[in-house]
Amino acid sequence: DSGVTQTPKHLITATGQRVTLRCSPRSGDLSVYWYQQSLDQGLQFLIQYYNGEERAKGNILERFSAQQFPDLHSELNLSSLELGDSALYFCASSARSDTQYFGPGTRLTVL
Amino acid sequence: QQPVQSPQAVILREGEDAVINCSSSKALYSVHWYRQKHGEAPVFLMILLKGGEQKGHEKISASFNEKKQQSSLYLTASQLSYSGTYFCGTEEANYGQNFVFGPGTRLSVLP
């Protein structure tokens, strides 16, 4: 158990819909990272937050947005969902710029 | 820019050694190594920082050649539990740059 929690575990929705994925980092970790992993694909970095502020941005679509709240939990919002958005979404946390501890992931299926 | 990993896949017998390489065209600040088993979240192995260093933990070690922007992961006397996909992740030397994972190397250890 990495100490990072993600909810929900599974999410099934339809095209055009909007969903919110939630991540609670390990106690004391200020950084939160979001990744997308499509079936049998590598890890695509989406975005990083550090203590509530956006720190780095990867190939995140405009339909996607994220934020980190004062209690350090983070949410990833995915809107106008397309079939191609079906993937495993991981959140990871770290104390600074070092070891990233990954949550178990949220499997999103868009039908 | 995504780092390049080689080989793409490797099959070993228990007890054999393997080397996985990761290289980037960008000046790097750090290289991270992770292992992901099928259906699970990636698990941190080690991080190597700019300055060129070698780290090790039991039979898994890694090196970082700053001049070549290349890192290698060494697995000696492989065990069945080493099977999985190994990802390197790179952080560029410029502050705030993306953290990018390589495409992964699939390692299979057979009895």
Contacts of A92 in chain B (CB under 8 A): 42
Paired strand residues for A109: A12
Nearest by CB to B44, from A44, A90, A99: name it.
A99
The string over A11-36, giving b where at least 16 C-beta atoms fall within 10 Å of a residue's C-beta and e elsewhere, is: bebeeeeebebebbbbeebbbbbbbb
Q: What is the pLDDT confidence band of residue A99, given thresholds at 50, 70 and 90?
A: confident
Of A42, A55, A104, Cβ closest to residue B101: A42
Q: Is A43 in Cβ contact with B96 (below 8 Å)?
A: no
pLDDT reading at A96 higher than 80 = no
**Distance between CA atoms of residues B78 and B31, nearest Å:** 22
CB within 8 Å of chain B, chain A residues 43-82: 43-45, 48, 55-58
Given this model, what pLDDT does residue B93 score?
Answer: 76
Q: What confidence score (pLDDT) does residue B52 get?
A: 61
pLDDT in the model for residue A39: 77
| SS3 of chain B | CCCEEECCEEEEECCCCEEEEEECCCCEEEEEEEEECCCCCCEEEEEEECCCCEEEECCEEEEEECCCCEEEEEECCCCHHHCEEEEEEEEECCCCCCEEECCCEEEEEEC
Give the pLDDT confidence of A31-80 residue by residue, as tens digits: 999 999 987 678 888 999 999 999 888 889 999 999 999 999 999 999 99
